Structure 1
């Protein structure tokens, strides 16, 4: 029940990646807006480009930046019905105009989350193009992540006519009384997809997550996806949890089944695809619940929000959570749903926010365009980026940051929050947050998450530093310090201006006879 154009056994075998290195505990993931990225390559190369014809140097560049996985966002067939709905929507047209002032109707390629069919869009190269892209990544040691949307599909998805019982049903009265929430498809009234806190999405129809046949179809769909990649990012994963779905749809879907949606799907998929990675877009403090239901990683929206509008102490409290929880979070300062970091944080705060998010445990997500300091968030309906100048200063910073976190300690090392303290009458140390990584190398990170200077003592958690001198080098700021190990353990003095940081690698320094 995965629709026309299903991936055959032969295609799946051809798509299987060659041997990859063992997965790392704390991967770096690169999210690429596939359609707009291919369009930008077409313009640069002066010839049509799909996933199967991307010049090899583009894959080299991605691998060279040190990413462990690439999330090719939006490869599935887009919906013509969804495109028509988007073009008729004044609010969306206003968004298109703001992001891409010279937009044309042909730039509206449809939402990647209004899926017509889980088959790679022909305009992106089809299944064969994806197979070639996966192989190109795999030979460079990079895994591939794709999308799965559990909550809804496009109104012209094959299921709406072939299996309408899989959807939340409505009546003609529902359609007449609330045409924004119900749509007629081939003589049946179906509910539009929604989350409980917002109006319905007009371009998608709501799947019934309580229906056993839908859950079986979801297993088959995700298995088909798993034949073509190494992991899946599950859109709005919390919407199909039993309690959330029951609150959203009530009597229309009846009582909740005795089992949850995600354990049913994840367990079944891993029977045929062991090691397949499940990543959840998750909100409403449901991350831990989704981890318990089988997800490897869940979005860390709480850290993002605290970096954006909270205090250093709120960030520190968040980082006090149990390691099992911390290690399964996805840290970011932007993605396709959030404003660009350079806009949201501003040029002065973006580097400190990025250092904070991208040197934590768990998975670290970087969004296509972030590394160049892009400021315009592209609506996902559009298939072309606006012309923007590169922010040379931010681009240079990100090059240095990625080079630093390329150290294996940030992938397989041990992370630990560090203690900090101040002096009577000076509480500015509370603006500092500090943590460390211990692997083949050691790193000490301190960030001032405030608009004012801060000073304090930061204690490194390694007693074996005592009795030696250490060179502390920050490759992102071209700084180096020589310090005694006793000072590091007892409390290293740190003074940082507003929104500044130290990303310090520790190396043994030549011993000397004089006192520090």
Structure 2
């Protein structure tokens, strides 16, 4: 990990434009990054968080906005999220970047500098976006550097895309095989790195030689002898050795992008298992080596995924939150997740719908994040469980430890009982006190029993413990 970053950072994603709109309505005056009150930054700085990702600060494109306002499919999606949609609510996609300069409507470069200083005062690092695959159709490079783009048979610039979906109509496709584009990418990333402590690189796997060639074929030209990321990241490290690089990746390319230089890569596979599968599937995922696990980003939602409160109801969401909060690697939380928002907002929109806050859920998340920040230290181990011939419910238990802390989660909609095999020497011959860090319950156990039989647990549906032994 880069200097100054914790090994397992907890990151909080803020959708900057709707967040500022909400603050403006709450305070009764326009609010930009330049004048967010200190008390609001104090609210953001939940104990246990390490970094804030201000998503979508760059200058948005008038040309991209015109496309979004004319697209019937997008308009329907906007109205599903905001039934009282007004024209000013549509501000364009933050991933349709016209220039890598903070949008003046959000406070401009000086506003971002002020926000970074406020975060730093509270011990929080700042993460910003970089979108390497595409730019807005009115980006200055379209006219200034036409050789940086993928062109179709008719000579027009292709719209941006990934290989499994139709093109995105509001952006144009950069050519990852262009030497000029690669050099320009280094300069842009260097300028971004001067303004933050970490970068989240959008759809980073699209720029690998194999995927890019598979997507664009002859339109991209000859495949270079070198990959897009490794040399670029190496040179960026020489200029900015402390900046952390996070790759949004899919399609089982996490290990590849880790090897190409990224500090962390999205763990979409774990998200899918937690959202749709069972404990056995999650346990199999966690059996991978620590060199891989330590560099994954665990999450239950972000701006691209459904809201966790809607996708993981009835206790599953809390159980999944305990899991991701206490695993090795980075953890990503999302603005509105703690309060139980259920509407996923399209990134084109400047305003959240009105939704009641779940104050009990908010208190649970705040306590969980504080506890997780305290216990995720030392050696992490995946623990085994055992049961009885007439009770296989132990198979629904997920368990791991961080030194003297044991985490157990019943990842099922029915009760589960079993014994957790504890690591560590010298359990026998002593009495042990186990304190649940989330609710304060205390359990007394014999060391001989723990050493011989393991830790007996009896958990309700979607129940959990975070137990510190002393």
Determine if the TM-score, normalized by the shorter chain, exceeds 0.5: yes
**Is residue 417 from structure 1 mapped to residue 382 from structure 2 by the alignment?**
yes
SS at match of 1:473: strand
In 1: Cα distance, 2:222 partner to 2:386 partner: 53
1:500 Cα deviation (Å)?
A: 1.1
1:406 Cα deviation (Å)?
A: 3.1
1:331/1:364 contact within 8 Å kept: yes
**Is residue 445 from structure 1 mapped to residue 427 from structure 2 by the alignment?**
no
Any stretches of 5+ residues in structure 2 without a counterpart? none
Q: Give deviations 1:363-395, integer Å, cap 9, x for gaps.
A: 001000001111111110001111100113322
SS at match of 1:190: coil
1:434/1:447 contact within 8 Å kept: yes
1:477 Cα deviation (Å)?
A: 3.5
In 2: Cα distance, 1:22 partner to 1:279 partner: 16
Aligned to 2:398: 433
1:215/1:264 contact within 8 Å kept: no
Aligned to 1:511: none
**Is residue 200 from structure 1 mapped to residue 167 from structure 2 by the alignment?**
yes
RMSD: 1.4
Q: Which of 441, 444, 447 is equivalent to 1:479?
A: 441
The 5 A counterparts of 1:362-377 are 362-377=329-344
In 1: Cα distance, 2:237 partner to 2:267 partner: 24
In 2: Cα distance, 1:24 partner to 1:488 partner: 32
Aligned to 2:424: 462
2:380/2:401 contact within 8 Å kept: yes
SS at match of 1:259: coil
SS at match of 2:423: coil
In 1: Cα distance, 2:10 partner to 2:261 partner: 20
Q: Which of 244, 248, 263 is equivalent to 2:215?
A: 248
Cα gap change, 1:169 to 1:21, in 2 (>3 Å): closer
In 1: Cα distance, 2:183 partner to 2:220 partner: 17
Q: Which of 261, 268, 278 is equivalent to 1:294?
A: 261
Aligned to 1:177: none
Q: Give deviations 1:196-241, integer Å, cap 9, x for gaps.
A: 0000000000000011100000000000000100110000010000
Q: Which of 483, 486, 492 is equivalent to 2:455?
A: 492
Q: How many residues align?
A: 468
In 1: Cα distance, 2:373 partner to 2:205 partner: 32
In 1: Cα distance, 2:362 partner to 2:46 partner: 15
1:478 Cα deviation (Å)?
A: 4.1
SS at match of 1:472: strand
Q: Give deviations 1:229-283, integer Å, cap 9, x for gaps.
A: 0110000010000000000001111221111111122111111100211000010
Q: Which of 186, 189, 204 is equivalent to 1:222?
A: 189
User: Larger deviation: 470-479 or 135-144?
Assistant: 470-479
1:317 Cα deviation (Å)?
A: 0.8
Q: Give deviations 1:87-112, integer Å, cap 9, x for gaps.
A: 11111111111111111111111111
Q: Which of 310, 313, 329 is equivalent to 2:280?
A: 313
In 2: Cα distance, 1:284 partner to 1:298 partner: 12
SS at match of 1:372: coil
In 1: Cα distance, 2:49 partner to 2:359 partner: 21
1:21/1:141 contact within 8 Å kept: no
SS at match of 2:338: helix
Aligned to 2:351: 384
The 5 A counterparts of 1:19-30 are 22-30=4-12
1:396 Cα deviation (Å)?
A: 2.5
User: Larger deviation: 480-489 or 125-134?
Assistant: 480-489
In 2: Cα distance, 1:121 partner to 1:485 partner: 60
1:50 Cα deviation (Å)?
A: 0.8
TM-score (structure 2 length as normaliser): 0.97
Aligned to 1:267: 234
User: Larger deviation: 231-240 or 445-454?
Assistant: 445-454
**Is residue 38 from structure 1 mapped to residue 5 from structure 2 by the alignment?**
no
In 1: Cα distance, 2:373 partner to 2:167 partner: 42
User: Larger deviation: 252-261 or 470-479?
Assistant: 470-479
SS at match of 1:387: coil
1:29/1:366 contact within 8 Å kept: yes
SS at match of 1:216: helix
Aligned to 2:65: 83
